[in-house]
C-alpha cells in the first residue's frame, strides 16, 4: 500500500532542507552495495530525525538498528556539546561501512557502535537517554520499549519507525504474519501506556513519537 503518494514525497523533499552531501553519498553506496537498501531512512525522514534531535539537543541518544548509519548521522546532528550516540546492530558485515561514514562525517568520537543483538546489549548500557530511535526487528519492539523506558529521562523522546508497516496494520492480518501482529500490539501498548504521551505520524512508513512524562 502506498501510504504517501510518491509525488507528495518528492514535493515535500524539494521544499525541505537539501539532503547533506555525505548522506547522499552514503545512500548511493548503500543502494549499490548493501542488501535491503529500502531500510535506510532517506532524505525526508532523515531531515525529520535531524530536526527532532536539534529541538531536543540530547546529551545521550540510543539507536536500535544502525544499518548503514544514515539515521545515526541525522540524529547526531542535534547532539549537545560532548553528547554521545549509542547505536546497536547485530550485522557484523555492516560495521566497516558504518565506520567509514562516521569517520567521514567526523563523528567517530561521538558515535559508539555496538555489535550484537539489541536484547543483549541494551541491558549493559548504563546511560540515561534523552532520545531513543527504535528501528530494528519489529517482533521485539515491545521488548525494546520495556527495556529502555526506565533509561529514558523525564521529557525524553522515544521514536519508533515503521509503525504503519506498509499499511498492513489496518488490513486483515494473515495468520502467520508475526511482524504485523507485533506492530499492532506495539501501537496499542503505546496508546495505553500512562508513562508517555504520544502521537503516530503517517510519515513515510509511520513514525511514532512518545514523550516520557
Ligand X SMILES: C[S@@+](CC[C@H](N)C(=O)[O-])C[C@H]1O[C@@H](n2cnc3c(N)ncnc32)[C@H](O)[C@@H]1O
Question: Using CB under 6 A as the criterion, which residues of the chain lie in contact with ligand X when the complex forms?
Answer: 39-41, 65, 67, 70-71, 88-91, 117-118, 135-137, 140
**Looking at beta carbons only, is 148 or 155 nearer to ligand X?**
148
Q: Which is nearer to ligand X, 62 or 88 (CB)?
A: 88
Beta carbon nearer to ligand X, 116 or 155: 116
Q: Which is nearer to ligand X, 80 or 147 (CB)?
A: 147
Using the 8-state DSSP alphabet, how is residue 62 labeled? Answer: E
- Cα separation, 14 vs 16, whole angstroms: 6
Separation of alpha carbons 180 and 177, rounded Å: 6
Place of cell 555492516: 94
In the complex, minimum distance from the CB of residue 136 to ligand X, in angstroms, rounded to a whole number: 4
Q: CA–CA separation, 74 vs 52, rounded Å?
A: 10
Q: Phi/psi at 138 (nearest 5 deg)?
A: -65, -35
Least CB distance from residue 27 to ligand X, whole Å? 9
Closest approach of ligand X to the CB of residue 149, in Å = 18
**Quick check: 58 and 100 in contact, CB under 8 A?**
no
How far, in Å, CA of 180 to CA of 167, rounded? Answer: 9
**Of residues 119 and 184, the one with the C-beta less far from ligand X:** 119
Please state the closest distance from residue 181 (CB atom) to ligand X, in A.
17
Residue with cell 518528492: 10
Question: What nine digits make up the cell of 57?
Answer: 539537543
CB of 213 to ligand X, least distance (A): 26
Q: Which three cell numbers stand for residue 2?
A: 502506498
Amino acid at each position: 500500500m502506498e501510504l504517501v503518494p510518491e509525488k507528495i514525497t518528492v514535493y515535500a523533499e524539494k521544499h525541505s532542507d537539501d539532503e547533506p552531501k555525505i548522506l547522499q553519498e552514503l545512500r548511493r553506496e548503500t543502494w549499490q552495495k548493501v542488501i535491503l537498501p529500502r531500510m535506510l531512512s532517506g532524505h525526508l525522514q532523515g531531515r525529520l530525525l535531524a530536526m527532532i534531535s536539534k529541538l531536543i539537543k540530547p546529551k545521550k541518544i540510543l539507536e536500535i538498528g544502525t544499518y548503514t548509519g544514515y539515521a545515526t548521522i541525522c540524529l547526531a546532528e542535534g547532539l549537545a556539546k560532548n553528547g554521545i550516540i549509542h547505536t546497536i546492530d547485530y550485522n557484523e558485515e555492516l560495521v566497516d561501512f558504518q565506520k567509514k561514514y562516521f569517520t567521514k562525517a567526523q563523528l567517530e568520537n561521538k558515535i559508539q557502535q555496538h555489535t550484537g543483538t539489541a536484547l543483549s546489549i541494551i541491558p549493559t548500557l548504563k546511560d540515561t537517554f534523552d532520545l531513543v530511535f527504535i528501528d530494528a526487528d519489529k517482533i521485539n519492539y515491545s521488548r525494546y520499549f520495556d527495556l529502555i523506558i526506565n533509561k529514558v529521562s523525564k521529557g525524553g523522546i522515544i521514536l519508533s519507525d515503521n509503525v504503519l508497516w506498509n499499511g498492513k496494520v489496518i488490513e486483515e492480518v494473515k495468520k502467520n504474519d508475526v511482524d504485523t501482529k507485533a506492530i499492532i500490539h506495539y501501537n496499542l501498548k503505546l496508546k495505553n501506556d500512562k508513562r508517555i504521551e504520544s502521537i503516530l505520524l503517517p510519515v513515510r512508513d509511520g513514525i511514532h513519537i512518545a514523550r516520557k512524562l
